[in-house]
Amino acid sequence: MHTVYSDGIKTIDELINDSFKEDYSIIAVSDHNNNNFFNILESCADKESGFNFDLEKVNNYTLKIIDSFDNDNDNKKDIVYLLKASEIMAQEGVEVLGIGYANKPDSYQPLENIINELKEQGALIMAPHPAVLILGGMGEENIKKYADILDGIEINGSIPVSCLLFLQ
Protein backbone atom coordinates (compact mmCIF):
# COMPACT_ATOMS: atom_id res chain seq x y z
CA MET A 1 0.00 0.00 0.00
CA HIS A 2 1.18 3.53 -0.74
CA THR A 3 0.41 6.68 1.25
CA VAL A 4 0.46 10.36 0.31
CA TYR A 5 4.21 10.22 1.00
CA SER A 6 4.58 8.38 -2.30
CA ASP A 7 2.02 8.03 -5.10
CA GLY A 8 -0.86 6.91 -2.87
CA ILE A 9 -4.01 8.89 -2.10
CA LYS A 10 -4.53 7.89 1.54
CA THR A 11 -3.17 9.64 4.59
CA ILE A 12 -1.78 7.59 7.44
CA ASP A 13 -5.02 7.98 9.42
CA GLU A 14 -7.15 6.96 6.44
CA LEU A 15 -4.97 3.94 5.71
CA ILE A 16 -5.12 2.64 9.28
CA ASN A 17 -8.86 3.32 9.61
CA ASP A 18 -9.59 1.63 6.28
CA SER A 19 -7.49 -1.35 7.36
CA PHE A 20 -9.71 -1.82 10.39
CA LYS A 21 -12.90 -1.36 8.32
CA GLU A 22 -11.75 -3.92 5.74
CA ASP A 23 -10.73 -6.33 8.53
CA TYR A 24 -7.12 -6.51 7.32
CA SER A 25 -4.87 -8.15 9.87
CA ILE A 26 -1.57 -7.27 8.19
CA ILE A 27 -0.64 -4.34 5.96
CA ALA A 28 2.67 -3.41 4.37
CA VAL A 29 3.13 0.28 3.69
CA SER A 30 5.44 0.30 0.69
CA ASP A 31 5.97 3.88 -0.38
CA HIS A 32 8.53 4.44 -3.14
CA ASN A 33 12.12 4.87 -1.94
CA ASN A 34 11.26 6.15 1.53
CA ASN A 35 10.17 5.28 5.03
CA ASN A 36 8.29 8.52 5.75
CA PHE A 37 5.23 6.61 6.96
CA PHE A 38 7.28 4.91 9.65
CA ASN A 39 9.17 8.11 10.47
CA ILE A 40 5.81 9.81 11.14
CA LEU A 41 4.75 6.94 13.40
CA GLU A 42 8.04 7.16 15.30
CA SER A 43 7.55 10.91 15.65
CA CYS A 44 4.06 10.36 17.07
CA ALA A 45 5.46 7.93 19.61
CA ASP A 46 8.29 10.31 20.53
CA LYS A 47 5.85 13.17 21.10
CA GLU A 48 3.65 11.02 23.33
CA SER A 49 0.66 11.67 21.10
CA GLY A 50 -1.29 8.66 22.29
CA PHE A 51 0.75 6.15 20.33
CA ASN A 52 2.94 4.23 22.72
CA PHE A 53 5.20 1.81 20.91
CA ASP A 54 8.78 1.18 19.91
CA LEU A 55 8.72 0.93 16.11
CA GLU A 56 11.81 -1.29 16.02
CA LYS A 57 10.11 -3.76 18.36
CA VAL A 58 6.94 -3.60 16.26
CA ASN A 59 8.91 -4.34 13.10
CA ASN A 60 10.87 -7.18 14.70
CA TYR A 61 7.64 -8.70 15.94
CA THR A 62 6.02 -8.45 12.53
CA LEU A 63 9.01 -10.23 11.01
CA LYS A 64 8.09 -13.18 13.21
CA ILE A 65 4.51 -12.98 11.94
CA ILE A 66 5.73 -13.59 8.39
CA ASP A 67 6.75 -17.07 9.51
CA SER A 68 3.40 -17.76 11.18
CA PHE A 69 0.83 -16.84 8.51
CA ASP A 70 -0.53 -20.37 8.62
CA ASN A 71 -1.33 -20.18 12.35
CA ASP A 72 -4.87 -19.51 13.58
CA ASN A 73 -5.29 -15.75 13.89
CA ASP A 74 -8.96 -15.66 14.97
CA ASN A 75 -8.13 -14.14 18.33
CA LYS A 76 -6.07 -11.39 16.68
CA LYS A 77 -8.82 -9.94 14.45
CA ASP A 78 -8.78 -6.49 16.03
CA ILE A 79 -5.06 -5.94 15.52
CA VAL A 80 -3.50 -4.50 12.37
CA TYR A 81 0.17 -5.39 12.04
CA LEU A 82 2.29 -2.90 10.11
CA LEU A 83 5.14 -4.33 8.10
CA LYS A 84 7.95 -1.97 7.13
CA ALA A 85 8.17 -2.03 3.35
CA SER A 86 9.34 0.04 0.42
CA GLU A 87 9.52 -0.16 -3.34
CA ILE A 88 13.22 0.51 -3.88
CA MET A 89 14.48 1.81 -7.24
CA ALA A 90 17.66 0.07 -8.43
CA GLN A 91 20.44 1.48 -10.59
CA GLU A 92 19.02 -0.47 -13.55
CA GLY A 93 15.75 1.50 -13.39
CA VAL A 94 13.71 -1.35 -11.92
CA GLU A 95 12.01 -1.54 -8.54
CA VAL A 96 12.08 -4.28 -5.95
CA LEU A 97 9.65 -4.46 -3.04
CA GLY A 98 11.22 -5.28 0.31
CA ILE A 99 8.86 -6.20 3.16
CA GLY A 100 9.87 -6.54 6.79
CA TYR A 101 13.43 -5.23 6.71
CA ALA A 102 15.18 -3.48 9.59
CA ASN A 103 17.04 -0.89 7.47
CA LYS A 104 16.00 0.16 3.98
CA PRO A 105 18.78 -0.42 1.45
CA ASP A 106 19.90 2.69 -0.41
CA SER A 107 18.12 3.36 -3.69
CA TYR A 108 19.92 3.54 -7.04
CA GLN A 109 22.50 0.86 -6.33
CA PRO A 110 22.69 -2.36 -8.39
CA LEU A 111 19.56 -4.52 -8.11
CA GLU A 112 21.61 -7.50 -6.96
CA ASN A 113 23.04 -5.47 -4.04
CA ILE A 114 19.57 -4.36 -2.94
CA ILE A 115 18.23 -7.91 -3.11
CA ASN A 116 21.22 -9.23 -1.14
CA GLU A 117 20.81 -6.55 1.56
CA LEU A 118 17.12 -7.39 1.92
CA LYS A 119 17.79 -11.14 2.10
CA GLU A 120 20.49 -10.61 4.76
CA GLN A 121 17.84 -8.86 6.89
CA GLY A 122 15.31 -11.66 6.44
CA ALA A 123 12.95 -9.50 4.39
CA LEU A 124 10.43 -10.76 1.88
CA ILE A 125 11.39 -9.76 -1.66
CA MET A 126 8.73 -9.10 -4.27
CA ALA A 127 8.55 -7.90 -7.87
CA PRO A 128 6.05 -5.00 -7.94
CA HIS A 129 4.12 -4.27 -11.17
CA PRO A 130 6.45 -6.63 -13.08
CA ALA A 131 5.04 -6.04 -16.56
CA VAL A 132 4.89 -2.23 -16.41
CA LEU A 133 8.46 -1.50 -17.43
CA ILE A 134 7.96 2.25 -17.73
CA LEU A 135 7.13 2.36 -14.01
CA GLY A 136 10.11 0.28 -12.91
CA GLY A 137 8.71 -3.20 -13.42
CA MET A 138 11.36 -5.93 -13.28
CA GLY A 139 10.37 -7.46 -16.58
CA GLU A 140 10.69 -11.06 -17.66
CA GLU A 141 14.50 -11.16 -17.79
CA ASN A 142 15.03 -10.03 -14.18
CA ILE A 143 12.18 -12.16 -12.88
CA LYS A 144 13.77 -15.24 -14.46
CA LYS A 145 17.21 -14.23 -13.16
CA TYR A 146 15.97 -13.81 -9.57
CA ALA A 147 13.19 -16.43 -9.61
CA ASP A 148 14.82 -18.50 -6.87
CA ILE A 149 15.20 -15.45 -4.62
CA LEU A 150 11.85 -13.70 -5.12
CA ASP A 151 9.19 -14.46 -2.53
CA GLY A 152 6.37 -13.18 -4.72
CA ILE A 153 5.22 -11.20 -7.73
CA GLU A 154 2.51 -8.56 -7.69
CA ILE A 155 -0.45 -9.72 -9.75
CA ASN A 156 -3.12 -7.16 -8.83
CA GLY A 157 -1.67 -3.68 -9.02
CA SER A 158 -3.41 -0.35 -9.22
CA ILE A 159 -2.83 0.12 -12.95
CA PRO A 160 -5.78 -1.00 -15.10
CA VAL A 161 -4.89 -3.73 -17.60
CA SER A 162 -6.27 -1.54 -20.40
CA CYS A 163 -3.45 0.96 -19.72
CA LEU A 164 -0.60 -1.55 -19.82
CA LEU A 165 -0.12 -1.51 -23.59
CA PHE A 166 -0.17 2.29 -23.60
CA LEU A 167 2.46 2.51 -20.85
CA GLN A 168 4.97 0.09 -22.38
Give the domain range for residue 98. 12-167
In this prediction, residue 112 carries a pLDDT of: 96
Contact 114, 96 (CB under 8 A): yes
- Structural domain total, the chain: 1
* Residue 6, domain member (yes or no): no
Per-residue pLDDT reduced to its tens digit, 62-73:
555 555 544 555
* Residue 3, domain member (yes or no): no
* Residue 5, domain member (yes or no): no
Burial of 96 (0-12, 13-18, 19+ CB in 10 A): buried
pTM for the structure as a whole:
0.60
* Residue 1, domain member (yes or no): no
* Residue 4, domain member (yes or no): no
